Amino acid sequence: MKARIRFEKKGDLCYVGHLDIMRCFQKAIRRAGFDIAYSQGFNPHQILSFASPLSLGMESEGEYFDGEFNSVLPASEMIKRFNEQLPKELKVTSFRILPENVKTNAMATLKACRYRVDFSYGSPFPGDLANLWDSFSSQSNITIEKKTRTSLSYVDIKPLLLSGICNGDSLTLLLRAGSDVSIKPASVLDAFFEYCGLPFSGEDAFRSGSIHITRLDQFTVVGDKYVSLGEIGEINE
């Protein structure tokens, strides 16, 4: 059976890259003695698939991977045993069994990610953040430069910015994500900073530590609604 695991990645662990986090889970699963399924062949490996990789240096409250298990314990017990084997900054918060008919994995169904951008480390803005954001986001289109190796094009990112709410010193952004089309929070900030006349990019601000970005959750679409990846499936008691 396939299970979906939601976890947090916080504190110093934000400097551990995606592949290393995967290895960390693989080893934790072995230490916990879970009845995980292995691939066939000469070098069997655990059948795990991780959702969208998180940028290095970013914390998250909503990371996901799907794993194929031969048998499981009640969800609360699985979570407890995971967390006994994991560093405290890497914490499993939910364990659900996916319906049998779900053929695709967490990454393939991903449609959006929610981020919180925290400016409380010293606001760089020339005015009130809420006002600036309101006028920025109410533009009919938001065009950014997109550079590739050979060409320079302009893209309207307005349709990818699903929502943005200002709350004190922070912004909460819901952005399109997935294998078809996606946008990074730093790219939205690039456009916003430029609009505010600030001389640095979102990536610069993130890397220098003057803003903090946390991924809050990841979503798929059910019907016409964005639903958290962690709400798919059933909690086995």
Q: Which residues bind other proteins (CB under 8 A)?
A: 12-13, 15-17, 20-21, 23-24, 26-31, 33, 38, 42-44, 56-57, 85, 87, 89, 206-209
- Which of 21, 174 has the CB closer to other proteins? 21
- Which of 124, 227 has the CB closer to other proteins? 124
CB of 30 to other proteins, least distance (A): 4
Rounded to 5°, angle at Cα 66 from 60 and 72: 115
- Which of 16, 155 has the CB closer to other proteins? 16
DSSP output for the chain: -EEEEEEEE-GGGGGS-HHHHHHHHHHHHHHHT-EE-B-SSSS--B-EEE-SPPPTT-EEEEEEEEEEEEE---HHHHHHHHHHHS-TTEEEEEEEEPPTT--S-HHHH--EEEEEEE-TT----SS-HHHHHHHHHTSS--EEEEE-SS-EEEEE-GGGEEEEEEETTEEEEEEE-SSS----HHHHHHHHHHHTT-SS-HHHHHHHTSSEEEEEEEEEEETTEEEEGGGSSB---
- Which of 87, 124 has the CB closer to other proteins? 87
Return d(Cα 196, Cα 59) in angstroms, integer: 26
- Which of 206, 219 has the CB closer to other proteins? 206
How many CB atoms sit inside 10 A of residue 104's CB? 12
Please name the residue that has the structure tokens 């929502």. Answer: 163
- Which of 50, 219 has the CB closer to other proteins? 50
CB of 20 to other proteins, least distance (A): 5
CB of 57 to other proteins, least distance (A): 5
CB of 25 to other proteins, least distance (A): 10
CB of 10 to other proteins, least distance (A): 12
- Which of 46, 236 has the CB closer to other proteins? 46
CB of 208 to other proteins, least distance (A): 5
CB of 65 to other proteins, least distance (A): 16
